[in-house]
Amino acid sequence: MNEQLRAISELDRVIHEPGRLMIVALLWAVKECDFLYLLHETEMNKGNLSSHLAKLEAAGYVEIEKTYRGKVPMTLLRLTRKGRTAFDEYRKGLKAAF
Amino acid sequence: MRDEIQDYADRPKRYDNIDGTGEMFMGLMLLGFALEGCLEAKLPENSSRWMHGLVIYGVMIPVLAFGYWIRRVIKKHITWPRTGYAAFPRDGKSWWIAMLAVFLVAIVLGLGLAFLTGFARRHHAMSLPGIVMLASFVVVYGFWIFRMGREYPWKWLVLLLMALGLLAIGLPVRGDYFQVGRQVALFVGLAWLGSGAGTLYSYIRHTQPPASEAE
């Protein structure tokens, strides 16, 4: 297998899915954000976004915190250290592949 | 694909000014400088340094505090309920690199203008530091549009207006160019404030708070 194909096959499949890639790229650039921000920026529907976030949380890439702003419930999201490293590695892998 | 990833990673930076509050803050700061310059000019010639310092801090601290407060209020009551909350890490290094880049571009642009026209030096109408100072205002705003406001094409017209306005303020001035600092601060401050208000108006028109809880 040549180097480029190997690099492609080694890409992190949790991040590689387009929807999750979008979410991780957005979270990578912020300290933290809420669910509504991701909903607005990704233009996904709530169900899709929740499902992707659940997968990222299960992989240990995203931390989800349920809290309140005043009396309004708010879901805070942030990338974990593991998630940040995985995204950096993914970008390196993609660069090597292309 | 890599460019798309970079675009997504850059989106939060643009989101910070989605409501125009960044521009309005800059505008208020410049108006503060204009006000402070006016008050300083009214001080007696033999005023102590302490007096000048008092005027500077007495004006700028409340102006900056007000700018911070109004930005916070707009974010809390308009932006976050409509399009969500995002907190940004403060990356000092990239900020200074950006500022240095803006400064260098302004110098190059200023020198280019000075050599191309020749007019300024022959007629002593504009000094070289003056041209650099004026160009830097235009470059900073242009850089801001490029990074933050690409979605609003009308901002390029504001940039043109700013360049023409600064030329109109600067050309008739002879000698010490810094005499017109107050007018420049007032004009550029109003342009930034107007641009920010336009962004906020457009943002409010095009966004609605979600009908029910987002989660």
Residue, of A11 and B197, whose pLDDT is higher:
B197
Write down the domain spans for chain B: 16-83+91-206
Would an 8 Å CB–CB cutoff place B84 in contact with chain A? yes
Select the residue from B1, B6, B19, B85 to test the A interface by mutation, using most A Cβ atoms within 10 A. B85
Residue, of B159 and B120, whose pLDDT is higher:
B159
Quick check: B146 pLDDT over 80? no
Give the least confident one: B77-86, B103-112, B144-153, B160-169: B103-112
- The parent domain of residue A79 ranges over 3-97
The per-residue pLDDT for B158 is 87
Mean pLDDT of B191-215: 83
The CATH number for A77's domain is 1.10.10.10
Quick check: B210 pLDDT over 90? no
The per-residue pLDDT for B2 is 52
Inter-chain touch A35–B215, beta carbons under 8 Å: yes
Nearest to B207 by CA among B83, B107, B28: B83
Would an 8 Å CB–CB cutoff place A35 in contact with chain B? yes
Residue A36 is nearest to which of B5, B84, B87, comparing CB atoms?
Answer: B84
pLDDT per residue over B107-144, tens digit each? 666 666 555 555 555 555 555 566 666 777 788 888 87
From start to end of chain A, where are the E strands?
32-34, 62-69, 72-79
The per-residue pLDDT for B118 is 56
Mean pLDDT of B92-105: 70
The per-residue pLDDT for B127 is 57
Quick check: B166 pLDDT over 90? no
Inter-chain touch A37–B83, beta carbons under 8 Å: yes
pLDDT per residue over A32-48, tens digit each? 999 999 999 899 999 99
Q: Which residues of B touch A69 (CB under 8 A)?
A: 80, 85
The per-residue pLDDT for B135 is 74
The per-residue pLDDT for B151 is 76
B122: Cβ contacts below 8 Å, ≥ 6 apart: none
Inter-chain touch A91–B89, beta carbons under 8 Å: no
Q: Is A70 helix (H, G, I), strand (E, B) or coil?
A: coil
Give Cα separations from B171 to A37, A67, B59, B130, B159 (angstroms): 46, 57, 29, 10, 18
Instruction: For residue A26, give the amino acid letter.
Output: L
Cβ contacts below 8 Å, chain A against chain B, sum to 81
Residue, of B169 and A58, whose pLDDT is higher:
A58
The per-residue pLDDT for B174 is 60
3-state helix/strand/coil string of chain B:
CHHHHHHHHHHHHHHCCCCCHHHHHHHHHHHHHHHHHHHHHHCCCCCCHHHHHHHHHHHHHHHHHHHHHHHHHHHHHHHHHHHCCEECCCCHHHHHHHHHHHHHHHHHHHHHHHHHHCHHHHHCCCCHHHHHHHHHHHHHHHHHHHHHCCCCCHHHHHHHHHHHHHHHHHCCCCCCHHHHHHHHHHHHHHHHHHHHHHHHHHHHHHCCCCCCCCC
Burial A27-59 (b: 16+ CB within 10 A, else e): bbbbebbbbbbbbbbbebeeeebbebbebbeeb
Residue B88 is nearest to which of A31, A38, A95, comparing CB atoms?
Answer: A31
Mean pLDDT of B53-71: 90
The per-residue pLDDT for B215 is 47
d(CA A87, nearest CA chain B) in Å: 11
Q: Give me the phi and psi of A72, to 5 degrees please.
A: -90, 125
DSSP-derived pairing of the beta strands B86-87 and A62-69: unpaired
- Evaluate whether B127 touches B174 at the Cβ level (below 8 Å): no
Angle between helices B21-42 and B128-148 (to 10 degrees): 160
Give the total number of structural domains in chain A: 1
**Residue B214 — pLDDT band, cuts 50, 70, 90?**
very low
Quick check: B208 pLDDT over 90? no
pTM: 0.76
Instruction: For residue A11, give the amino acid letter.
Output: L
